[in-house]
DNA sequence: TTAATAATGGGATAACATGGGATTGTATGG
DNA sequence: CCATACAATCCCATGTTATCCCATTATTAA
């Protein structure tokens, strides 16, 4: 499970260390398929990247298999995620190198922020993430009374 | 699993490098049947090619075997895929040579784009692919809220 | 303090995509 | 049956890019 938020350096070669906690999450989970690395793709929700272990893609594959072949949703998702994604292998130090087009998409330079979100994670420009975080937390505060009454402990 | 999108050169001899990731996907998967290459066929959905490893054909075969011999769907698919497909072996450098009729069908000249879609991939004229990609991603963005809920929450 | 885990920098090495020539194979006609 | 022409395949050479490997520093744990 991907938890916590970590900011690491993006070096001149385009490499960045994946947080050690994320790496161990991936290696624990990847007994099924032994790709030692991550998969990332550009988000549909904004200028940041989304990612996870290869098993995330396999789960996704399985859910696509349930849809009809001609289902437009199915091909939309295949293009948006499978076709737009990249597999990035870890080097000996647990780093991956982010492709240049991904740099541009997510406005990455110097530092990148990994945001753990359970099954998957996000990769942000730290400054943009801070703005996003502020606005989302504001929203959460405003609506927290709704959360209290509407469920008993299962806040997501 | 076939992931990401890669554009490579089509040389004067009609050869093109299959992306290294695709090749390793095929060789990992082909323990069942050791054909070192790909299988391609003209798509039924437009002017592009579809393809995969030989194991993909075996999966098709298996699902066709579930249908009755006289099932019209069965023979239609046999004609559309098995009869229309070609096996293309890798050369020493991981290239295949695309037959001329396939060039014409998919409007290939100079550069070709490999699009990973999980179990299979597509081969496009880069320009045509870009148009298709734009329209599909637009659709995906518009319906992404639906997509989120339809995929057990966490996979977008 | 010492050892162990992480993150990071940089040089050496291997992999990949690509072009061109040489060789083999295959179909066709004599 | 052999000879020829054409095309397909193999093989090697190249530049570029990515990856491997080692060294250094910082942080944490024993």
Mean pLDDT over residues B76-90, rounded?
90
Query: Is B138 contained in some domain?
Result: no
pLDDT at B65: 87
> CB distance A80–B137 less than 8 Å?
yes
**Cα–Cα distance between B20 and B53 in angstroms, integer?**
13
Asked if A34 contacts A87 with a C-beta cutoff of 8 angstroms, the reply is no
Q: Please state, for a pLDDT cut of 70, what percent of chain B lies above it.
A: 90
CATH number of the structural domain spanning residue B36: 3.40.1550.20
Is A97 near strand D, with its CB below 7 A from some atom of it?
A: yes
For residue A155, count CB atoms less than 10 angstroms from its CB and return exposed for 0-12, middle for 13-18, buried for 19 or more. exposed
**Rounded to 5 degrees, what are φ and ψ at A99?**
-60, 150
Is B55 near strand D, with its CB below 7 A from some atom of it?
A: no
Mean pLDDT over residues B148-154, rounded?
45
Candidate from A81, A84, A87 with C-beta closest to B21: A87
Query: Is B63 contained in some domain?
Result: yes
DSSP state of B43: -
pLDDT confidence band for B141 (50 / 70 / 90): confident
For chain A, where are the alpha helices, taking DSSP H only? 20-29, 54-65, 72-77, 100-106, 126-142, 144-150
Query: Is B132 contained in some domain?
Result: no
For residue A106, count CB atoms less than 10 angstroms from its CB and return exposed for 0-12, middle for 13-18, buried for 19 or more. buried
Q: Flag whether pLDDT at B38 surpasses 60.
A: yes
**Cα nearest neighbour of B22 on chain A:** A87
**Which of A30-34, B69-73, B74-78, B100-104 is most confident?**
B100-104
Q: Which domain holds residue A100?
A: 5-125
pLDDT at B63: 87
Distance in angstroms: CA B42, C1' C13: 41
For residue A62, count CB atoms less than 10 angstroms from its CB and return exposed for 0-12, middle for 13-18, buried for 19 or more. exposed
pLDDT at B145: 65
Query: Is B136 contained in some domain?
Result: no
Q: Flag whether pLDDT at A148 surpasses 70.
A: no
Residue A99 distance to chain B (closest CA, Å): 12
Is A13 near strand D, with its CB below 7 A from some atom of it?
A: yes
Token pair 């639906």 in the structure block, residue: B146
Tell me whether A39 touches chain B (CB under 8 Å).
yes
Number of domains in chain B: 1
Mean pLDDT over residues A119-148, rounded?
88
pLDDT confidence band for B149 (50 / 70 / 90): very low
Chain-centre distance for alpha carbon A109: 18
Q: Flag whether pLDDT at B154 surpasses 50.
A: no
Tell me whether A96 touches chain B (CB under 8 Å).
no
Q: Give every CB contact of residue A13 below 8 A, 6+ residues apart in sequence.
A: A97
Q: Give every CB contact of residue A44 below 8 A, 6+ residues apart in sequence.
A: A80, B137, B140, B141, B144, B156
Is A93 near strand D, with its CB below 7 A from some atom of it?
A: yes
């Amino acid at each position: 499970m991907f938890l916590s938020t970590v900011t690491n350096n993006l070096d001149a070669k385009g490499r960045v260390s994946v947080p050690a906690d994320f790496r161990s999450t991936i290696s624990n989970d990847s007994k099924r398929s032994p790709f030692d690395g991550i998969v990332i793709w550009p988000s549909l929700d904004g200028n940041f990247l989304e990612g996870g272990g290869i098993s995330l893609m396999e789960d996704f594959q399985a859910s696509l298999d349930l849809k009809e072949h001609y289902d437009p949703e199915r091909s939309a998702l295949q293009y948006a995620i499978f076709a737009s994604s990249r597999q990035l292998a870890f080097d000996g130090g647990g780093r991956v190198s982010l492709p240049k087009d991904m740099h541009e998409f997510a406005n990455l330079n110097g530092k990148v922020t990994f945001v753990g979100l359970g099954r998957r994670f996000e990769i942000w420009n730290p400054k943009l993430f801070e703005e996003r975080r502020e606005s989302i937390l504001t929203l959460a505060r405003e609506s927290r009374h709704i959360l209290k009454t509407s469920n008993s402990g299962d806040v997501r």
